[in-house]
Amino acid sequence: MSSRTVPPHTASTRAASARTTVRVMGRRALVTLSAASAALTAFTFPATAATPAGPAPAHASRGGNGDRAITLDGSRAFPESVAADRHFVYAGSIGDGTVYRGRPGAPTLEPFLPAGRDGRTQATGIKVTGNRLLVAGAFTGRFFVYSTSGRLVAAYTVPDTGEQTLVNDAAVAPNGDVYITDSLRAVVYRIPAAEVNGPATGAHRTLRVAYHLPDYVAGQSNGNGITTAPDGTSLIIGYWYSGALYRLDLTTGGVRRIDAPPLPSADGIVRQGNTLYVARSVNNEVTELRLSAGSTRAVVVSERTFPGADTTTGVAVSGGRLLVTNSQMDTYLYGEPLTSPAFTIESLPLR
């Protein structure tokens, strides 16, 4: 998630098989969010986005390419993120913090963790690891660890430094440690595996800073999507504002920019082998990249969009399909009329 996000839609449409790259054309200021949206101050962002083609029936085909829409059963779903394992697909609501869940292939995700429970009033990055569900709390500065049965393992709060915060996304290292981005603070937090997998006591703890990140721009959304690199000893972090990708070495703490084209509005990231899928919210597309050995370089393989794309903030892989959120984040931030009364996640063929 950015701080953020999309400008009002311009009058354009996409054909079912179109491959459209949105050109970033200038900046404009974002209005201050209301107290219900964490009272964040103004930000800037790219000024173009594509108009969605309108709602499709739940799980209906969106053309001849096997695209399907999964509906979220909620009037304020605004699905910022999506995650999946063998058993379930999960989505988190930036609108009210609800976590939704459904079986892979199901046409609808239903509320699983109700809005507001445990102080979870916003949800951005969501990840599932083993029998644990991880939920980032966005502008609230919170982070939650749940069992997949729905019990609160622990709730975390960022250190009280007086700085603004946007707890955005998380990645799980091979040893089970969890690493978390904060788009407004140039840090990566870490939760040890022992705490993640500990008893579900509902403990309240403070997030601990593990690493510091370079090239943060004040007042902008910076470190956003995060995933592990193929070698398992480093992390890959995308910056929303600059579009840069960085490699963080977990052994040395060194941070190096990856040699790759800039990906403005880079948001959620998922990795399969040496392939990265990057959701680009303002551009309404998913960029596929191929990583080099050592993750020092990345080459763009393809850029994909789909009819109805509406601020593509999150991405996951499930059963050979790519899941992409239609977050309607512009509506959430501006309070403008919904572009679609149905909140959806797009299910696309992986290739």
Within a domain: residue 1?
A: no
Within a domain: residue 19?
A: no
pLDDT the model gives residue 34: 30
- Specify the CATH number for the domain of residue 185: 2.120.10.30
CA–CA separation, 110 vs 98, rounded Å?
Answer: 10
Locate all alpha helices (DSSP H) within the chain, ordered by sequence.
Answer: 193-196, 329-334
CA–CA separation, 224 vs 228, rounded Å?
Answer: 13
Range of the domain at 255: 27-349
Within a domain: residue 15?
A: no
Buried b (16+ CB within 10 A) or exposed e, 219-252: ebbbbbbbbbbbeeebbbbbbbbbbbbbbbbbee
Locate all alpha helices (DSSP H) within 74-227, ordered by sequence.
Answer: 193-196
44 vs 234, higher pLDDT: 234
pLDDT the model gives residue 64: 53
Q: In this structure, what token pair is assigned to residue 326?
A: 């239609």
- The mean pLDDT value for 95-116 works out to 97
Q: How many domains are there within the chain?
A: 1
pLDDT digits (tens, 9 = 90+) for 205-240: 999 999 999 999 999 999 999 999 999 999 999 999
Within a domain: residue 71?
A: yes
Does 193 score more than 80 pLDDT?
Answer: yes
How would residue 186 be classed by pLDDT, with cut points 50, 70 and 90? very high
Within a domain: residue 8?
A: no
CA–CA separation, 21 vs 70, rounded Å?
Answer: 24
- 270 neighbors 252 (Cβ within 8 angstroms): no
> Long-range contacts: 301-305, Cβ < 8 Å, 24+?
301/275, 302/19, 303/19, 303/21, 304/19, 304/348, 305/14, 305/18, 305/19, 305/20, 305/50
